[in-house]
């Protein structure tokens, strides 16, 4: 007859299994490099914030980057528990089409409304207010606030990613282990729609840690959209080998259709510029993701 | 005790923290995640974050902060890998093959295979309680649940592990 495992026996078995796991040579150096990279990212974010503030977009910038919480008031049973909004971002980094979601030359705005209650809610709604098409609501699912701290999904920005004169809205819907996942909303046939990639609502991995990084770029001459990333195949003090990949997509209505896929293996140090071109966001005024 | 971590070169507090705790936290993350490269990434990220956190504010107990961060990041990493498995470009798939090699080294141990087959929360609870030897209250705090829930997790996990490992009464 089988019985519960004795706790001491379990502890012994586990110790046997991981007793040989030791830090790699260079682990501390790797952490120190990570600290330096993180400081540089925060400095860059601070500089961008300062530029934005001096450009006169301070309030809008704060709304975009931190999300504004508006707790429901007394007697508001059934109303959204919290709302995060965003509006045209700082002029310093804006192109003519940023936040012009309907393409009429005037800035629009968007906010996120939680459809359910509590920290475990995963149902949200993007409420888009457009100057020519009025207000539209698009439901979407995202990681709950408790799984995607501090406040669940938030709007990252709005830029014209496909060069069609109308801005797409980028929303962070999940985060964890220094990686975020972003989705995109786009105006198609006068309806704001969540963009589909490979048959599902798009989830773009952004950021990462020591061993893997992901990012994307847009605004190519033909309006192509590119995702890229790298992951460590071997990661030692003397030899670091990486798998790097780049996928190019074409916009077809609300779909991103894979056009080409490129991947290869390279040897480089983790600080090499050869890897840097497979990381980060290069898409108009969208902010770089700087994990906490 | 309030600990300040200052990067002064030489043997600073941060280096001391690394020397004293990195290996144990790495093993903890290995038990959570089942592979070494992912565990290294998680623990290194935790150290990067503790370094950033102490620059912004005092941290009463950096080891507790690190442990909590490792628990949170491991949980996030498991979730992220589930998502990434569905959506990863080919490059990420190749990266996973390296993880598979590391898996195979650990998978020699029946207990690791058994541990990977039980629910993540139960795994966290038994590893923190019996391998890390933390009191139930501390395990509950780290996992964000009640002590009763921890007892439930550990009880079910030990029963299931007993079945999987064929422990006889």
Q: What is the pLDDT of residues B111-149, one digit of tens each?
A: 888 998 899 999 999 999 999 999 999 999 999 889 999
Q: What pLDDT was estimated at residue B26?
A: 94
Nearest to A2 among B23, B126, B167 (CB): B167
Residue-level pLDDT at A23: 87
Chain B residues lying within 8 Å of A13, measured CB to CB:
109, 111, 165
Domain, as residue range, for A144: 91-282
Contact A2, B169 (CB under 8 A): yes
Tell whether A289 is covered by a domain: no
Burial A62-80 (b: 16+ CB within 10 A, else e): bbbbebbeeeeeeeeeeeb
Query: What gap in Å lies between CA A213 and CA A91, rounded to an integer?
Result: 29
Q: Which residue from B minimizes the CA distance to A177?
A: B73
The answer to whether residue A170 is domain-embedded is yes
- Whether A1 is in a domain gets the answer no
Chain B environment of A200 (Cβ under 8 Å) = 86-87
Contacts of B49 in chain A (CB under 8 A): 292
Q: Tell me which of A13, A33, A39, A119 to substitute to probe the interface with B (most B C-beta atoms closer than 10 Å).
A: A13
Contact B111 A211 (CB under 8 A): no
Confirm whether A151 is domain-assigned: yes
Helix (H) or strand (E) holding A172: strand A168-176
Q: Which residues contact A16 (CB under 8 A, 6 or more apart)?
A: B109, B111
Residue pair B2/B60 in contact by the 8 Å Cβ criterion? yes
Q: Which residue of B has its CA nearest to A197?
A: B87
What is the residue whose two structure tokens read 């994307």? A216
Going by the DSSP 8-state scheme, the letter that residue A2 receives in this structure is B
Give chain A's domain count.
1
Q: In this predicted model, which residue has the larger pLDDT, B105 or A123?
A: A123
* Nearest partner of A144 among A176, A183, A170, A192, judged by Cα: A176
Residues of A in contact with B42 (CB under 8 A): 177, 209
DSSP class of residue B59 equals B
A265 at B interface, C-beta within 8 A: yes
Contact B44 A232 (CB under 8 A): no
Residues sharing a CB contact under 8 Å with residue B144, sequence separation 6 or more, in sequence order: none
pLDDT in tens, chain A (292 residues): 557 889 999 999 998 888 888 888 888 888 888 788 777 766 665 665 555 444 444 333 333 333 333 222 223 333 333 334 444 443 334 455 688 999 888 889 999 999 988 878 889 999 999 999 999 999 999 988 777 666 788 899 999 888 888 899 999 998 876 788 899 999 998 999 999 998 899 998 888 776 778 889 987 666 788 888 887 777 766 667 888 888 889 888 899 998 888 888 888 877 777 777 788 888 888 877 655 4
**What residues of B are in contact with residue A256 (Cβ under 8 Å)?**
none
- B119 C-beta neighbours (distance < 10 Å), count: 12
The pLDDT tens digits of the residues spanning B51-90 come to: 888 777 767 788 888 999 999 888 877 776 665 555 544 4
For residues B31 and B161, give the distance between their C-alpha atoms in angstroms, rounded to a whole number: 14
Q: Which residue has the tokens 């043997």?
A: B11
Contact assignment for A4 to B126 by CB distance below 8 Å: no
pTM, entire model: 0.53
Cis peptide before A150 (omega within 30 of 0): yes
Residue A23 forms contact with B (CB below 8 Å): yes
CA distance B69 to B55: 16
Q: A214 vs B109, which has greater pLDDT? A: A214
Q: How far is A94 from chain B (nearest CA, A)?
A: 30
From A5, A31, A210, residue closest to B167, measured CB to CB: A5
The CA-atom distances, in angstroms, between B144 and each of A146, A231, B138 are 11, 31, 10
Phi, psi of A22 (to 5 degrees): -130, 155
Is A106 among the domain residues? yes
Q: Which residues of B47-72 are buried (b: 16+ CB within 10 A; e: fewer)?
A: bbbbbbbbeeeebeebeebbbbbbbb
Q: Answer whether A122's CB lies under 8 Å from A116's CB.
A: yes
Measured in angstroms, the CA of B76 and the nearest CA of chain A are apart by 5
Q: For the complex shown, is ipTM > 0.85?
A: no
Using one digit for the tens of pLDDT, what is the confidence trace for A79-93?
A: 333 334 444 443 334
- Let me know if residue A18 belongs to a domain: no
Q: Please list every residue in chain A whose beta carbon sits closer than 8 Å to the beta carbon of residue B15.
A: 28
Element (H, E) at A129: strand A123-130
Q: Do B90 and A245 touch (CB under 8 A)?
A: yes
Please indicate whether, in this complex, the C-beta atoms of A31 and B126 are within 8 angstroms of each other.
no
- Chains A and B form CB pairs within 8 A to the count of 192
Q: Is A259 on the interface with B (CB under 8 A)?
A: no
> Of A232, A241, A246, A244, which Cα lies nearest the Cα of A282?
A246
Give the span between the Cα atoms of A183 and B102, in whole angstroms: 32
Residue A218 domain-assigned (yes or no): yes
By the CB < 8 Å criterion, does A201 face chain B?
Answer: no
The confidence score (pLDDT) of residue B84 equals 55
Where does the pLDDT of residue B156 fall: very low under 50, low under 70, confident under 90, or very high at 90 and above? very high
Kind plus residue range of the DSSP H or E element containing A263: strand A255-267
Structure tokens at A112: 């996120």
Nearest to B52 among A3, A38, A235 (CB): A38
The answer, yes or no, to whether residue B103 has pLDDT greater than 70, is no
Q: What is the pLDDT of residue B90?
A: 45
Contact A82, A151 (CB under 8 A): yes
| Residue B12 to residue B20: CA distance in whole angstroms | 12
Q: How far is A67 from chain B (nearest CA, A)?
A: 21
Instruction: DSSP for chain B, please give it.
Output: --B-----SSS-HHHHHHHHHHHHHHHHHHHHHS-HHHHHHHHHHHHHHHHHHHHHS-BS-HHHHHHHHHHHHHHHHHHHHHHHHHH--HHHHHHHHHHHHHHHHHHTSHHHHHHHHS-HHHHHHHIIIIIS---HHHHHHHHTS-HHHHHHHHHHHHHHHHHHTT-B-
Q: Is A128 helix (H, G, I), strand (E, B) or coil?
A: strand
A85 occurs within a structural domain = no
CB atoms within 10 A of CB A6: 13
In this complex, the residue of A5, A203, A245 whose CB is nearest that of residue B92 is A245
| Mean of all residue pLDDT scores within chain B | 77
Q: Give the pair of three-digit tokens for residue A194.
A: 């969540």
Contact assignment for A3 to B169 by CB distance below 8 Å: yes
């Amino acid at each position: 007859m089988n019985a519960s495992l004795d706790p001491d026996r379990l502890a012994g078995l586990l110790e046997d299994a991981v007793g040989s796991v030791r830090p790699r040579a260079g682990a501390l150096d790797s952490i120190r490099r990570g600290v330096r990279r993180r400081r540089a990212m925060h400095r860059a974010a601070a500089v961008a914030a300062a530029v934005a503030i001096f450009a006169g977009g301070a309030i809008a910038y704060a709304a975009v980057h931190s999300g504004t919480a508006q707790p429901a008031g007394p007697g508001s049973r059934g109303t959204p528990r919290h709302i995060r909004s965003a509006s045209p971002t700082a002029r310093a980094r804006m192109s003519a089409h940023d936040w012009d979601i309907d393409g009429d030359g005037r800035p629009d705005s968007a906010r996120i409304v939680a459809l359910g209650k509590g920290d475990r809610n995963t149902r949200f709604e993007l409420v888009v207010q457009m100057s020519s098409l009025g207000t539209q609501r698009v439901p979407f699912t995202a990681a709950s606030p408790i799984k995607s701290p501090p406040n669940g999904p938030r709007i990252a920005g709005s830029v014209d990613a496909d060069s069609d004169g109308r801005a797409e809205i980028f929303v962070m819907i999940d985060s964890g282990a220094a990686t975020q996942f972003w989705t995109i909303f786009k105006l198609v046939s006068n309806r704001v729609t969540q963009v589909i990639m490979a048959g599902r609502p798009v989830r773009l991995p952004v950021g990462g840690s020591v061993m893997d990084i992901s990012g994307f770029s847009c605004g190519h001459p033909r309006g192509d959209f590119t995702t890229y990333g790298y992951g460590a195949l071997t990661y030692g003090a003397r030899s670091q080998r990486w798998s790097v990949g780049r996928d190019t997509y074409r916009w077809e209505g609300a779909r991103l259709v894979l056009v080409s896929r490129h991947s290869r293996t390279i040897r480089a140090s983790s600080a090499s510029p050869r890897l840097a071109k497979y990381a980060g966001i290069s898409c108009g005024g969208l902010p770089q993701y700087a994990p906490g | 005790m309030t600990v300040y971590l200052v990067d002064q070169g030489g043997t600073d507090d941060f280096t001391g923290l690394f020397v004293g705790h990195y290996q144990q936290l790495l093993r903890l993350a290995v038990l959570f995640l089942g592979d070494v490269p992912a565990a290294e990434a998680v623990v290194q990220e935790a150290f990067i974050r503790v370094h950033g956190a102490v620059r912004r504010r005092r941290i009463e107990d950096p080891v507790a902060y690190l442990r909590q961060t490792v628990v949170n990041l491991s949980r996030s990493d498991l979730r992220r890998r589930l998502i990434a498995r569905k959506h990863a470009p080919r490059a990420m798939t190749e990266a996973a093959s390296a993880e598979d090699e590391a898996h195979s080294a650990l998978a020699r141990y029946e207990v690791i295979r058994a541990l990977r087959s039980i629910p993540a929360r139960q795994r966290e609870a038994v590893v923190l309680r019996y391998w890390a030897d933390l009191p139930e209250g501390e395990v509950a705090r780290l996992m964000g649940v009640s002590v009763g829930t921890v007892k439930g997790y550990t009880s079910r996990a030990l029963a299931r592990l007993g079945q999987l490992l064929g422990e006889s009464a």
